[in-house]
Structures are given as C-alpha cells and as structure tokens.
Amino acid sequence: MTSFVHLEYSTQHPGVARVESAIASAQAIKRGFSGTRSLATLLLSAMAAAVMVVAYQVMDSMAEGHLLVMWIGLWVVAFATLAVCASTSRTLAASIKASLDRWSRNLATRRADERLWAMAQTDDRVMADLRCAMQRADARYDARDEALLFVPPATTRAVLPSAPNRSNRA
C-alpha cells in the first residue's frame, strides 16, 4: 500500500502578512494626505465660521418663532460660502505652503552655513577646504564671465549682414 503525503506549509507567517498589509495601508493613507488640501480646508472652515457668527448675530435679533428657518438659512449661507471660496482658499493655501517651504529651506541652509563656519573657526582642515572651494567657485565664475565677454570671430561674421558683392553689380 502506497500513500502520498502532501504537506502544504505556508511560506509566510500570518502575523507578518498582517503587519505588511497594515504598513501598506498606512503608506497609502500618507500618500493621500496633502498639506495644501488640509490647509485649504482649515481656511475654508475659518471663513465659514466667520460667516456663521455674523449670521447668528443677525438671527439672534429675530423673534423666536423664526428660529428654525433662520437656522436652515444659516447653514445655507455656510455651505454657499464654502462653495464660493473653495478655489480661492486652495490657491491661498498653496501659496502659503510654498512660502513656508521656502522660508524653512532658507532657514535650514542658513543654520547649516553658520554651523559650518563655526566648525571652520576651530578646525584648520575645514577652513582650508572652505578656502579651496571658494577659490574654485571664483575661478569658475571668472571663466564664465570671460566666456560671456569673448565672442569668436566666426560668430560675428555670421551675425553681421554681408556686404553687397560688387562684382555682381551691373
């Protein structure tokens, strides 16, 4: 009597599979998150809240019998404000985000330069490297300026209009 044994073992641990799927879903959520969109939402909410405060002040002066109608009107005004100001707040949020990114990049660069300069003040090797880099940059700018000032003769002949040929005149 012959029997075959087929053992099918999983090649991956179920706990590892769950953790990998959780990490993948967390990364998908992170990719879907946009700083500009959330800032635009925040600005829209602030504008809608301001409009609602004004509308509530108007509604508060009305008689109590019209409270439900005024409450519905308040929400209509809030959603209309959201609809009208959506594109403006999105562009404002994008410009604010871009300016904050530029500011933080400049701040980080300035701090890094200050740290490097402080280190160069105490370490002669770093100062020598900085001097060498500055000399290379100066030489590169000088070479670029010379290349801009120098115009090869062949280029000037091609640019200038040619003189009329006297031999072809009648």
Tally the domains of the chain.
1
**Secondary element (H or E) of residue 137:** helix 124-149
Q: Within a domain: residue 61?
A: yes
pTM: 0.39
Q: Does a structural domain hold residue 6? A: no
97 falls within a domain: yes
State which residues form the domain around 104: 32-150
d(CA 110, CA 28): 34
Distance of alpha carbon 79 from alpha carbon 48, whole angstroms: 8
Q: What letter represents residue 71's amino acid?
A: W
Is residue 19 a part of any domain in this protein? no
| Domain annotation covers residue 25 | no
pLDDT in tens, the chain (170 residues): 556 666 677 777 778 788 888 888 887 777 766 666 777 777 777 877 887 787 777 767 665 656 667 777 777 887 787 777 778 877 888 888 899 999 999 999 999 989 988 998 998 998 899 899 888 888 887 777 666 665 555 554 444 455 555 555 44
> Is 124 inside any structural domain?
yes
In terms of Cα–Cα distance, which of 49, 115, 107, 112 is closest to 82? 49
pLDDT value of residue 105: 94
Cα 22 to Cα 146: distance, rounded to the nearest angstrom? 60
In a domain, 9, yes or no: no
140-170 burial code (b ≥16 CB/10 A, e <16): eeeeeeeeeeeeeeeeeeeeeeeeeeeeeee
Question: Is 13 inside any structural domain?
Answer: no
